[in-house]
Structures are given as C-alpha cells and as structure tokens.
Amino acid sequence: MYEDETVRTSSAIRGDDFVLRVQGELDADSCEQFEEALLKATTASGARTVVDLSQMTFADSTVLHLLLAARLAHQRAERPFFLAGPFQLPVERLLEVTGTLGFFPLYVLGTADGV
C-alpha cells in the first residue's frame, strides 16, 4: 500500500442496520481501525451488521482473515453479518480466488432483504 493512501472507516445506523463503511486500500499495515470497528459491531445497535466494501480498493489476506473472524463472532452472538458491494475488482478477486465469497451473505443497502 502507498503511504499517501487514506483508509477511512465509518459507521452509522440505517434503519435496522449497523452499517460499517470502508474506503481505500486495506492491508496488514492499515487495518487496525477496521479490526476495532468489526469487534464493536457484534454488540452495536441495529438488528444486523452490514459491511459496505464498495469503496475498498484493495484488500489482502489480513482483511479476509478479519472478515472471516467477524463472521464467526457474529454467528456466536446470533447476529446477522452481511457484506455489501458492488466490490472493486481487487476485493472481488480476493473473495473469489480464496473461495470465500459464498461464506458471506450479500446485502443491498436500503432494502430489507439480503440478496
């Protein structure tokens, strides 16, 4: 990742959803804020967690590990966990090449049903 790239993580309650948005390139050196937000999401307000990756331009195996761990933590807390896109090509490739895309239900923000 280039040092001048900015990673932004933000969250908001939208209806029944706790939405966590990520912007920029995430890798092992830049994902601390994302990791903290995922941990807090299991107990956040809202009926479910939606992680919006539509503005994430790069993700490495560290990010994938964090998403898988968050999915498991949400299952244990009996809290639905979704990913939202559309995904940028590097993120989509990471999920497809690792065979993990099917591990995550996909969600369309602003609707009541996952897709």
pLDDT per residue as tens digits for the range 46-99: 999 999 999 999 999 999 999 999 999 999 999 999 999 999 999 999 999 999
Place of tokens 């099917």: 102
Q: Does 74 fall in a domain? A: yes
pLDDT of residue 108: 77
Query: What type of residue sits at position 111?
Result: T
Sheet-wide strand order for 17-26:
8-14, 17-26, 48-59, 81-84
The answer to the question of residue 2 being in a domain is no
**Does any domain span residue 44?**
yes
Q: Which two tokens stand for residue 3?
A: 């040092």
| Preceding peptide of 86 cis, ω within 30° | yes
What confidence score (pLDDT) does residue 111 get?
53
**Could you tell me if residue 115 is inside a domain?**
no
User: Is 15 part of any domain?
Assistant: yes
Which domain does 16 fall in, by range?
8-103
CATH number at residue 83: 3.30.750.24
Q: At residue 17, does pLDDT exceed 70? A: yes
Q: What is the mean pLDDT of residues 25-34?
A: 92
Position with higher pLDDT, 115 vs 80: 80
Considering only residues 97 and 114, tell me which one the structure prediction assigns the higher pLDDT: 97
Are 62 and 30 a contacting pair, CB within 8 Å?
no
**Residue 33 belongs to some domain of the structure:** yes
Give the chain's mean pLDDT: 89
pLDDT of 56 reads 95
Q: For the chain, how many structural domains are there in total?
A: 1
